[in-house]
Structure 1
């Protein structure tokens, strides 16, 4: 199995449905309406996806819940051959955005990460993520959570949620705060907001990575800018197909972007919501674009170079990516 690096994974969004159902049952919370007859997460469009996502987070109420969640997610990732992953962590779901509460949740997540690394050999680093549709004021609180707990494990800050709500510049204070704390920066753009949202994000925020970014393909000058500036795209093809960002795998622009010199990586986003895994992503890319082991080897080294980790960790993971 090819060892893999994943840069775009939402911790709550990676929760196995069975895990959330069991946790809800333990707490006598009825969220049965978010599942279909097969027990999968059920939604019809992106707006409903966000509602189901937030409902699935309702049973996650304590640090111990997040410790268990992290163990479950990392075990599944390790089974897919992932040796290094970066997870988006939302203080809004871990204590309601309160800095003091966040300080209680973070050690539980880190404890689980340490346990998973010892047991499964997978390394996790955290990226605190503000939720765009919760607004700029709430994002400031999230940025403070990130800034006050930044270290060699909590290494990044990002922006997720409904991309069409507000403009990137609305969140400039939060990104400046995170940057001053030494955090590396990424933001979702170009999934729903078009190429213009990618451009606006690059103009307003000091990011070095863009989550998704696939709609940049509609603006040749922007594609050139991404390539020239070395901006890395955290591409999630299966997610884009499942949500209708693109109609099918053949229409996905990842290969075109890569051929034009843009740094692309591959991730699963919220894998159980989109019925995908890292192995499935690789299989579909191979089937659709003829990518070989050489392509995936190069892809993973691009991802590792863009990872928000220290040099010692990068060197250690690089050894795991070496071919036998």
Structure 2
């Protein structure tokens, strides 16, 4: 039932060679977009981080290449570079400036609604009082961006998997204390090869009881079983990435039937070497099998992408037309964790 309903929502129509009829590839990048998987620190432009480091006289030059871009060889080095870049963000004012810079980039790419991952681990060391100060600064910057650029931001607090379950308990306390109209979800990110989802059950149960919606990174560097574990143990309604589920088609069918939403980030997966090119990315197969998915950038400057580029590359790879992408945006808004009033406001922008 979910598959048929989702296909109707998206309005897919096939025609021609192996895909959907395209009425103008150059136009899809300008469509209004909804992004549900974006790490705030991971979206920091390299020039912003370099400038902040220079202001604070901090030497992090080793994380950049000769062209000024972030430099890393694989996912695990990416995590180290990510945390090194984040190390110069030490005050609420830094996060206000970061939020402004990120939302300017997103709005320029046509994003009208965004959910971003926020980690009190980086914002005040998981201290609730300090986290409130950081959150206040982020919200003020988000309000200004909405007034100026018409982009709405909401936050999903994430614990960091490789920091361990005890620190996750501190993180979820920050989430519970600030849950509301802006902090709408709770999740987990980090190194999937460290620990198990069941280690974080207490934190997810706590977030659920506070009314927060739940998502979890899985099925990126962990295989299909990592997706099963996240669904079974954490009882989430969205999966960050989840692309490795394609290696177990029975699992893919279960996800489709249950209406679980995959937050797919094709450009990220390809940049990190999970898939050799856009046509080989499993997002096309997810579509065929009626899986609910959204499109996002993950950590855009790290992977040299934007939401506009994601749309363009998917258009080229699968010949999806403007109607398909409009359907993706509306379906993404349906999957968003925001309240009904916010959803209705954003819907008008689509």
Global fold match (TM > 0.5): yes
- Superposed, 1:164-243 pairs within 5 Å as 164-243=193-272
The aligned counterpart of 1:37 is 66
Distance 2:53 2:36 in 1: 29
1:20 corresponding residue in structure 2? 49
Alignment partners' CA distance in 2, 1:314 and 1:51: 36
Shift of 1:247: 1.8
Larger Rg: 2
RCO comparison, higher one (Cα < 8 Å, 6+): 2
Alpha-carbon shift at residue 195 of structure 1 (Å): 0.6
4+ runs of 1 displaced by more than 3 Å? none
Distance in 1, matches of 2:323 and 2:246, equals 24
Shift of 1:259: 1.3
In 1, the alpha carbon distance for the partners of 2:299 and 2:126 equals 21
Alignment deviations for residues 28-69 of structure 1 (CA, whole Å, 9 cap, x no partner)? 100000000000000000110000000000110000000000
Report how far residue 249 of structure 1 moved: 1.2
What is the match of residue 319 of structure 2? 290
* Aligned mate of 2:337, from 298, 308, 312: 308
The superposition leaves residues 82-103 of structure 1 with CA deviations (integer Å, 9 ceiling, x where unpaired) of 0000000010110111112101
Kindly report which structure 2 residues correspond to 1:84-123, keeping only aligned pairs within 5 A, or say none. 84-123=113-152
Q: How does 1:44-63 map to 2 (within 5 A)?
A: 44-63=73-92
Query: For structure 2, which runs of at least 5 residues remain unmatched after alignment?
Result: 1-29
Instruction: Quote the residue 2:347 is aligned against.
Output: 318
RMSD value over aligned CA atoms?
0.6
**Corresponding residue for residue 80 of structure 1:** 109
Structure 2 residue 192 is matched with structure 1 residue 163: yes
Specify the SS of the correspondent of 1:245.
Answer: coil
Equivalent-residue separation in structure 2 for 1:95 and 1:42 (angstroms)? 27
Residues in 1 aligned to 2:254 and 2:114: alpha-carbon distance in whole angstroms: 27
Cα distance in 2 between the residues matched to 1:109 and 1:186: 21
Matched, 1:2 2:31: yes
CA distance in 2, matches of 1:78, 1:201: 32
Q: Counterpart of 2:298?
A: 269
1:240-273 CA deviation, whole Å, 9 max, x = no partner?
0000111221110001011101101100000000
> Which runs of 5 or more residues in structure 1 are unaligned?
none
Match for residue 135 of structure 1 among 159, 164, 170 = 164
Following the alignment from structure 1 to structure 2, what is the Cα–Cα distance between the partners of residues 132 and 47? 13
- Specify the alignment match of 1:255 in structure 2: 284
CA distance in 2, matches of 1:263, 1:302: 8
| TM-score normalized by the length of structure 1 | 0.98
Deviation at 1:320, TM superposition (A): 1.1
CA distance in 1, matches of 2:348, 2:161: 37
Q: Quote how far apart the aligned CAs of 1:151 are.
A: 0.5
| 1:98-135, Cα deviation, whole Å (9 max, x unpaired) | 11210111000000000000010000000001110000
Equivalent pairs counted in the alignment come to 321
